[in-house]
Structure 1
């Protein structure tokens, strides 16, 4: 009990607005429209500058841009239907007033109760009001694909952003080469279409490059977009395991089971390892406790017990 009284909150966040159900048809149509626009944009590109260059013996352009379009198209469609790391819903019989604490790299986190899913969610798990689900390692809800970005599909999101950057850059270079090759020809509808395609490519490329840089910096520092309003105590991020390990855990590490079974295991006490206590308060933002005194090695009466693990365990 003394540990809880002396502890300081790790992160603070403004209370979220009341969650109301969102209509699913409009976001779904918007995501489908993005796929259609990509196909129409690519159709104009392959029909005018790419075709003209190929007819004049420059086959390198369709050979490069063709696979990039296929990669971008399937990345976009796959991300629409990917699993971001949805956690099982709990039971209404669970007590929201109980306190559970886990250790992450010498930082104690109190598991927050989700009123919608009825379970104590692990650190970095957030309930998305658009999808009405709890997502493990939540980063953000992407309206372009109408899906959350979390633990299980973040690498596919990075692949989509990277492929879009490469494809837009290749389209822009191809359009510029076409305009240079046809500079001696009079202005025509073909040139107008190519200028339009080049303008769209620039409009996509600039924000995508900025997004790619921001996401790369976030991965290197083991940060998440959703935590932008939260500040770690004394600039200490317990999820940061070094730049190389952060990239490995995000891009290359095994994803594990489709649903995180640990989240369900936390709903009940297993032997003496978990000793719940009545909640002192229930803030709306995930918080953590400073590890002032050492944690007791064995459970004792009236003490709160927790597991220590790596960030990927939770």
Structure 2
């Protein structure tokens, strides 16, 4: 009797063959399955944002006003270069279209940089981090309820940190499941917590925060110069033609100048005013959100003095416009790893948002006094 020809022999060989075949083929199939299952993080991003160019461009969902901004700038500048610059370059100086082109390119560059970038969105807590944080909050609230009367209401979900001698409250975001770092706020339109949140600007189609504020400021400042520049030389063009052919004939010869003058006249006041307002904010190191709420006083001796101000206008401007650009925290173009375990949040009471710990270079002392 040959080996394996007895009772149960063929069955064992068959079973062994099936098992070995299955196990040898699975390593060849699993990498392919994992490769096809990977997705970019921007495809499942929880906020209300739109992404283009495989996640490289990030904007708010409502972008209709942004397209209006583009049309106004492109049409007004296009009419100026097409109808006014040929005459002005010959009759006055060719430097006029050159300067106008530089201003136009700078305006468009800063606008697109503001609109297409991550404003400083904070990552939401992972399920494990949120569960751990809720467990900590629940334990503290249970202790508070047990040691008080029946009508006691638990304290609000806040923490306190001390920044340059000023106590700042960190509020808990029920949507992102994090304690927001100082100066962060939740944008209701984009449904994201944004670091150093200034405001949501529909004209640029994005939030304005820590990572794109300097580009927003350079956009409105350069747009102010461009608007004044076009308006001034359109009027110069009309006056120069009027001296040669008369006022009515000048308007007939260049009807586009009338449209440019009207658009620039009605928009220059709001643009220049907005530039002046943000210049004041930068000089005092405040955000629009803080100024509207009246969070800080400009006087250092007051009880609610601004802890973020360096006490010097020049230093405040350099801090807002010339400091290093913070990296994006959401990694929107990264791949989702389904088999990777989620990191757990530390239980030592340190303020966390997502997987990033709050850091500051302004001498921040963390004092977790209460929730």
Fold shared by both chains (TM-score > 0.5): yes
Residue 250 of structure 1: which of 320, 341, 357 is its match?
Answer: 320
Residue 346 of structure 2: which of 261, 268, 274 is its match?
Answer: 268
Structure 1 alignment gaps of length 5 or more = 1-20, 277-305
Say whether residues 1:134 and 2:196 are aligned partners.
Answer: no
Identify if the C-alpha distance between structure 1 residues 307 and 238 changes in structure 2 by more than 3 Å, giving closer, same or farther: same
Check whether the contact 1:79–1:147 (CA below 8 A) recurs between aligned residues: yes
Look up the SS of the partner of 1:93 in the other structure.
helix
Counterpart mapping for 1:191-230 below 5 A: 191-227=254-290, 228-230=292-294
Counterpart mapping for 1:1-314 below 5 A: 27-56=62-91, 58-91=93-126, 92-96=130-134, 97=137, 100-183=159-242, 184-185=244-245, 186-227=249-290, 228-232=292-296, 234-242=303-311, 243-259=313-329, 268-270=346-348, 274=349, 310=362
d(CA) in 2 for partners of 1:39, 1:143: 18
Identify if the C-alpha distance between structure 1 residues 244 and 311 changes in structure 2 by more than 3 Å, giving closer, same or farther: farther
Cα deviations by residue, 1:133-172 (Å, 9 ceiling, x for unpaired): 1110001000101111111111001110111011111101
Residue 221 of structure 1 and its aligned partner are, at CA, apart by: 1.3
Cα deviations by residue, 1:11-69 (Å, 9 ceiling, x for unpaired): xxxxxxxxxx7999972132123212211111111111112222446212101101111
d(CA) in 2 for partners of 1:135, 1:150: 6
d(CA) in 2 for partners of 1:73, 1:36: 11
Residue 102 of structure 1 and its aligned partner are, at CA, apart by: 2.3
More helix by share: 2
Could you list the structure 1 runs, at least 4 aligned residues long, displaced by more than 6 angstroms after superposition. Answer: 21-26, 311-314
d(CA) in 2 for partners of 1:58, 1:230: 49
Identify if the C-alpha distance between structure 1 residues 173 and 266 changes in structure 2 by more than 3 Å, giving closer, same or farther: farther
Check whether the contact 2:60–2:190 (CA below 8 A) recurs between aligned residues: no
Larger Rg: 2
Cα deviations by residue, 1:224-246 (Å, 9 ceiling, x for unpaired): 11121233473411111122221
Counterpart in the other structure of 1:286: none
Identify if the C-alpha distance between structure 1 residues 71 and 136 changes in structure 2 by more than 3 Å, giving closer, same or farther: same
Worse overlay, 241-250 or 51-60: 51-60
d(CA) in 2 for partners of 1:313, 1:106: 8
Identify if the C-alpha distance between structure 1 residues 188 and 207 changes in structure 2 by more than 3 Å, giving closer, same or farther: closer
d(CA) in 1 for partners of 2:191, 2:315: 31
Identify if the C-alpha distance between structure 1 residues 266 and 45 changes in structure 2 by more than 3 Å, giving closer, same or farther: farther
d(CA) in 2 for partners of 1:42, 1:147: 23
Worse overlay, 211-220 or 252-261: 252-261
Give the number of equivalent residue pairs: 260
